[in-house]
Amino acid sequence: MTVTQPGTVIDALDVKGTISVLADNVTIQNSRITSSDWTGIWIKDGITGTVVKDSEILNVGSSPDGANGIVGSGTFLRNDIHDVENGIIVTGSSLVQDNYIHDMNAPDVRLGTSLGGPHYDGIEINGGVSDVVIRHNTVINENGFVSAVMINNDFGPVSNIQVDGNYLAGGGYTLYSDGSFSSTDKISGVSFTNNELGQGTWGYYYFRGNTPVLSNNDELGTGWQTSSPTTPPSTPDIPAAPTIASWSPDTGTAGDGITDANKIALHGTAAAGSTIKVYDGSTQIGTATATSTGGWDYITNVLTDAKHTLTATATNSSGQTSAASAAVAVTVDTKAPAAPTIASDTVNTANQVVMSGA
């Protein structure tokens, strides 16, 4: 199934195959996706606003290396993901919350063969990703290698990844953050806090080329549960996504998103006292602070003549970061058109001047 219509809602369907999301603001809910291909749900890079919630995702394929539950970015809530090699591969800013990822599997395990080399990650980030919140999930990797949560910089830098309040168990190492794939694309701003951890085959932590924040994690040893805990970890308070309510100056035709100013003032709302990070695409361009009443303002530095996609996140005093705001598109056009030319002028029989040019 390929989704090309923005705003599509897929509700209560039993889908046999892959759902490919090629449009913004698509919601998949209350559905069962049984794939025999590489991925249950694939979200194209650059697509925004995808929500996958309250659904079951599994794989019944025969590829030696197994398959993936969800690949892409968005908001992923309360899904049951199983019989896949990798549960969720996050490719952009995302909220991953209250999912149950378990019985990670591939045909060489399922069929008793040794045809391939499955990797096995509950939640995976492979670089080029920032602003991800992973919270209150249960991830159980019954296999003896790789991890419950795996982060690396294989495909670019990684920043601002919060793994908080989860039940994470198994793999080779329960938590894996490897920044050795690139000397220039660094891993930064990764934190593992308030998690319950079941020890992997070789230990709890594999950190290389970066130093994540570790705080208040409960190490349960090797006798961890192979099913969801009766009482899951408490969910921390994450601020709501901020809004960009307006911007100025909107010159020319009002509402067309085009301005002749190269510095833009943004005005929005957010949780009171939170720190606002403003992004142009995936690049952070500045910060602001929300007032006690939740208002915030930010004036950009000089922007190039181009279309700019602006978003914002809010971070509270305990370091929890919201999902990104809805994007606002602004086109900066500071250059006047070239002067016209008069190529010829004549007087017609009616004694009128006729001019032509370009």
| pLDDT tens figures, 142-186 | 887 789 999 999 899 999 999 999 999 999 999 999 998 888 889
For residues 23 and 49, the answer to whether their CB atoms sit within 8 Å is no
Task: Give the pLDDT of residue 93.
Answer: 96
Task: Tell me the CATH class for 2-219.
Answer: mainly beta
User: Residues spanned by CATH 2.160.20.10 within the chain?
Assistant: 2-219
- Which token pair is 92? 């952009």
Q: What is the DSSP letter of 350?
A: T
Taking the C-alpha atoms of residue 27 and residue 172, their distance in angstroms, rounded to an integer, is 34
* Both tokens assigned to 241: 């996504």
Which pLDDT does position 229 carry in this prediction?
A: 45
Q: Cβ-count burial of 286 within 10 angstroms (0-12 exposed, 13-18 middle, 19+ buried)?
A: middle
| H or E stretch at 40 | strand 39-43
Per the structure block, which two tokens stand in for 308? 């700019």
Domain 243-332 class?
A: mainly beta
Residue with tokens 């830098």: 157
Tell me how far apart the alpha carbons of residues 56 and 12 are, in angstroms, rounded to a whole number: 11
Q: Is the pTM of this model over 0.85?
A: no
Beta-carbon contacts of 322 under 8 Å, excluding residues fewer than 6 positions away, are 133, 238, 239, 240, 241, 242, 270, 271, 274, 313, 314, 315
- Considering the chain, tell me which residue range(s) the CATH 2.60.40.10 domain(s) occupy: 243-332
Tell me the one-letter amino acid at 41: I
Of 19-23, 63-67, 238-242, which one has max mean pLDDT?
19-23
Closest to 170 (Cα-Cα) out of 223, 214, 124, 114: 223
pLDDT of residue 335: 87
Q: Cβ-count burial of 230 within 10 angstroms (0-12 exposed, 13-18 middle, 19+ buried)?
A: exposed
User: What percent of the residues of the chain are helix, what percent strand, and what percent coil, each to the nearest 5?
Assistant: 0, 45, 50
pLDDT score for 182: 85
For residue 294, how far is the Cα from the chain centroid?
25
pLDDT at residue number 357:
74
